[in-house]
Chains A and B, each alone.
Chain A
Amino acid sequence: MMSTLLRYCSIYAALWRNSLMREMIFRANFLLWIVVDVLWFGLQLCFISVLYLHTESIGTWTKWQVVLLIAASNFIQQIFHGIFLLNLTNLSDLVRTGKLDFLLVQPVNPRFIVSLRQIDLGAFVNALIALVVMIYAGIQLGIRPGLTDVVLFLVLCAIGILIHYSLMLLLASVSFWTVKAQGIVWGYYNLFNIARMPDEAFRGLFKALFTLAIPMLLVSNVPARVLTDKLASPALVWLLVAMGAGCVACSEIGWRASLKRYTSASS
């Protein structure tokens, strides 16, 4: 057990080294992509500042609380990008070109190698920027989170990343059935949009759908609530944990079904 874990750790370290070398070859491009993401992040902050020119609060969310929410959402999203996104968007290419065969014969878990092959290092720089904005918003709000709050926040972020990963893997698996799946993968960006909006802006079916089916309104809102002391009861935390477990289970079932289809179709 321990030795398997160690083996996977050393494989992952090698993947990191490869990605780092690749990025350093196209350094200018690496920096430009960081600029692109910073611009989009700035754009969301602009939008919020414009909204708060005309209102004091959205539900009970004040301006700096929403800034913290957007930054937390960006933090989660960027780490998800850094570790998983490239690999998942490439999955349809792997299926189409048959390169997936090559990965499947390697002596490692297929899900591991398909999900973690390539690392997007620029995203970690952007995660750091999001973290700085989060701290700045925290200072504006005058909050001093204790160690338990910070640990809880990080654990919830990790669950959020797992939820994004599971849902995206499910979506990307659609490419096992239809080759032209880019539109579906692209659609996921629209779901990210909701994750950074304050949950109190929504009601009814919309809120139920994006809380209990596709938990986009939980992934960033719950961690942000923990930091800003907006958590009325721990129920929301447990809901996020439960939804996380549900998403992980669904994606594992979906992944196995897709892989089965792939191996039986090609042999």
Chain B
Amino acid sequence: MFGIGIQNNLAYRVNFLARSLFGLIPVLAMIYLWRTIFEGQGNATIAGYTLGQMISYYLIVQIVDALTAVNEDDWQIASDIKDGMISQFLLKPVDYLWYRLSLFLAGRVTYIAVAGLPLALFIYWLRDHLEAPESAARFGLFLLALGMTALLQFLISYAMAMLAFWVLEVSTFIFILYALEYLASGHLFPLDILPPGLQQVLELTPFPYQLYFPISIYLGRVGESELWRGLLIQFVWVVIAYAVARFMWRLGIRRYEAVGG
């Protein structure tokens, strides 16, 4: 299944390439924007970030995003449901969730294969600003959190796409979720430059664990005890998302069979 996924995705390599190239323009703009703000301020740090750390943040967002973001998966799942493609999974001994997960992972591998080079060149160009992690152990924990981020991204999108069982047009819901994730997961800015009250509210949601958390480990923005607590919370969110995804699927199938006969 992983192999099929890779083959399907390679057909879209032009798309992937265009996506990654165009995608770098706003990042570059963001870096320029922060540089101007730092210069205007005259302070060495803003909210505890040096300019180098701030630029590193946006560069690592790109890396984490390339490795873990869902691309077309949610749309495909929704259209599988709408077109009745899922009927075959009710007969075959293949579980739809594992099938989609392997396609998702295959999609990430092909994305990296195509978009990896432009991204690598971009980061190499800005290498002076990229900070290294404190220690190898930190980097290991970053990778662990990264893996859970990928799972969380996938499971949340999967659960969201299940809405296709009930509503005709899921794209609006998916876009609303994107908008929330974009802001609350730390895509636009590191979450710890927000006022403390807002940060605490965000920490109650799964969003920070979809992007911000692994990056904060990499940049050493979390202390030792917070780090372990964070990993535990992230794990709990993965389990919850998995349970919700399964539950939605079961409810959806019940409805699907009732309607489809």
B residues 215-241 touching A (CB-CB < 8 Å): none
* CA–CA, A26 and B23, complex, Å: 33
CB nearest to B17 among chain A residues = A183
B29 near A59: Cβ-Cβ < 8 Å: no
**If the complex has contacts A50-B189, A182-B15, A183-B18, are A58 and B26 also in contact, measured as CB distance less than 8 A?**
no
Of the candidates B17, B173, B183, the one having the most CB atoms from chain A within 10 angstroms of its own CB is: B183
Chain A residues within an 8 Å CB radius of B41: 54-55
**B-side binding surface: helix, strand, loop or mixed?**
helix
Chain A residues within an 8 Å CB radius of B144: none
A150 interface residue, CB < 8 Å from B?
A: no
B residues 1-43 touching A (CB-CB < 8 Å): 11-12, 14-19, 21-23, 25-26, 28-29, 32-33, 35-37, 40-41
**If the complex has contacts A47-B189, A50-B189, A53-B195, are A36 and B175 also in contact, measured as CB distance less than 8 A?**
yes
Smallest CB separation, B54 vs chain A (Å): 11
A33 interface residue, CB < 8 Å from B?
A: yes
A112 interface residue, CB < 8 Å from B?
A: no
B202 interface residue, CB < 8 Å from A?
A: no
A200 interface residue, CB < 8 Å from B?
A: yes
Chain A residues within an 8 Å CB radius of B256: none
A180 interface residue, CB < 8 Å from B?
A: yes
* CA–CA, A40 and B177, complex, Å: 11
Smallest CB separation, A77 vs chain B (Å): 15
Of the candidates B11, B26, B29, B183, the one having the most CB atoms from chain A within 10 angstroms of its own CB is: B29
CB nearest to B22 among chain A residues = A187
Smallest CB separation, B146 vs chain A (Å): 24
B117 interface residue, CB < 8 Å from A?
A: no
Smallest CB separation, A59 vs chain B (Å): 6
B33 near A201: Cβ-Cβ < 8 Å: yes
Chain B residues within an 8 Å CB radius of A180: 11-12, 14-15
Chain A residues within an 8 Å CB radius of B195: 53
Contact residue among A35, A39, A56, A188 (Cβ-Cβ distance under 8 Å from B40):
A56
B176 interface residue, CB < 8 Å from A?
A: yes
CB nearest to B28 among chain A residues = A206
A residues 177-218 touching B (CB-CB < 8 Å): 178, 180, 182-184, 186-188, 190-191, 193-194, 197, 200-203, 206
Contact residue among A33, A36, A50, A197 (Cβ-Cβ distance under 8 Å from B193):
A50
* CA–CA, A42 and B236, complex, Å: 30
A51 interface residue, CB < 8 Å from B?
A: yes
Chain A residues within an 8 Å CB radius of B46: 54-55
B90 interface residue, CB < 8 Å from A?
A: no
Smallest CB separation, B60 vs chain A (Å): 19
Chain A residues within an 8 Å CB radius of B12: 180, 183
B183 near A33: Cβ-Cβ < 8 Å: no
Smallest CB separation, A200 vs chain B (Å): 7
CB nearest to B21 among chain A residues = A187
A32 interface residue, CB < 8 Å from B?
A: yes
Chain A residues within an 8 Å CB radius of B16: 183
A residues 222-251 touching B (CB-CB < 8 Å): none
Chain B residues within an 8 Å CB radius of A182: 15
Chain B: residues with Cβ within 8 Å of the partner, total of 39
B25 near A190: Cβ-Cβ < 8 Å: yes
* CA–CA, A56 and B47, complex, Å: 14
Contact residue among B26, B168, B180 (Cβ-Cβ distance under 8 Å from A194):
B26
A50 near B194: Cβ-Cβ < 8 Å: yes
Smallest CB separation, B118 vs chain A (Å): 13
**If the complex has contacts A43-B183, A187-B18, are A36 and B37 also in contact, measured as CB distance less than 8 A?**
no
A57 interface residue, CB < 8 Å from B?
A: yes
Chain B residues within an 8 Å CB radius of A194: 25-26, 29
A58 near B176: Cβ-Cβ < 8 Å: no
B182 interface residue, CB < 8 Å from A?
A: yes
A29 interface residue, CB < 8 Å from B?
A: yes
**If the complex has contacts A35-B172, A54-B193, are A46 and B183 also in contact, measured as CB distance less than 8 A?**
yes
Smallest CB separation, B216 vs chain A (Å): 17
Chain B residues within an 8 Å CB radius of A26: 169
CB nearest to B19 among chain A residues = A183
**If the complex has contacts A40-B179, A51-B37, A206-B32, are A184 and B18 also in contact, measured as CB distance less than 8 A?**
yes
Return the CB mask of A107-142 against B: 1 if under 8 Å, else 0. 000000000000000000000000000000000000
B188 interface residue, CB < 8 Å from A?
A: yes
* CA–CA, A57 and B42, complex, Å: 12
Return the CB mask of A40-79 against B: 1 if under 8 Å, else 0. 1001001100110111111100000000000000000000
> Can you pick out 7 interface pairs between chain A and chain B where the beta carbons lie within 8 Å of each other?
A32-B176, A39-B176, A47-B188, A53-B195, A183-B18, A190-B26, A201-B36
With contacts A29-B169, A33-B172, A193-B26 known, what are 16 further pairs, Cβ within 8 A?
Answer: A39-B179, A40-B179, A43-B188, A47-B183, A47-B189, A50-B193, A51-B189, A58-B36, A59-B36, A178-B14, A184-B18, A187-B22, A187-B23, A193-B25, A201-B33, A201-B36
